[in-house]
Amino acid sequence: MTKTLTGRVALVTGASSGIGEAAAIALAQAGADIAISARRADRLEVLKAKIEALGVKVLALPGDVVDEKIATEAVEKTVAHFGKLDILVNSAGIMHMGTTEGTDLAEFRRVMDVNLLGTVYTCKAAIAPMKAQGRGDIINISSQAGRKTGPMVGAYSASKHALNAMSDSMRQEVGGHGIRVCVLMPGATTTEVATSISDPNFRAAIQTHVTKDGAVAASEIADAIVFIVSQPQRVNIDLISIRPTIDTSP
């Protein structure tokens, strides 16, 4: 891969697996120095070693972005360590399935806390340093569930619709300061998203969905992230929808 991002610094949340892990590796392959954040410290250490082998600098920041202090400090520690922050990729996310009538409200709140508020915390912290340097890229990982919905996915879909709205509002607020904001909406992508679903039947159904023949690989979503941040400064790709080729639904 061409080192198009040499000299840039990226922070990736949800980096211990799936799209977050793949994004951190792809950005590093493109030459960026990387800060990685996730709850699972052991996995972060494994990823840190992989990224260091690519010849770039890496900072591991274990912690849960649901905690506003931890999320804010992830940004602050990245800036303190590297001297700046050019790219923020918010990939931390979980899924919950169930009817509105029968939903576990604690799980519903957790989905909103992780998928929406965890992203709000890091975005809020990143804007000031990005303004100071006159540029920056923020990519928020949403979902096809952020443009439509269906039975059993009310919490997840609501969190992603809200994320999309928040992100576009932020884009309009910060664009004049050279900060670009993009919402990336993947369809079926092979990740560990199903593991956060408590109901075993729903968990099995989603696992089958994201591992079916033709599902998008996390590395392919990561390639799109590198593409987004590699555009000329005047170009803000504000929304990308990625589906498996086999998905022909409206």
DSSP string, 193-250: GGGG--SHHHHHHHHHHHTSTTPEEHHHHHHHHHHHHTS-TT----EEEE--TT----
Residue spans of alpha helices (H) in 13-117 = 18-29, 41-52, 68-82, 105-112
What are φ and ψ of residue 194, in 5° steps? Answer: -65, -25
CA–CA separation, 43 vs 46, rounded Å?
Answer: 5
Tokens of 27: 């950005």
Residues annotated as part of the active site: 156
Residues 203-214, buried b or exposed e (16+ Cβ, 10 A)? beebbeebeeee
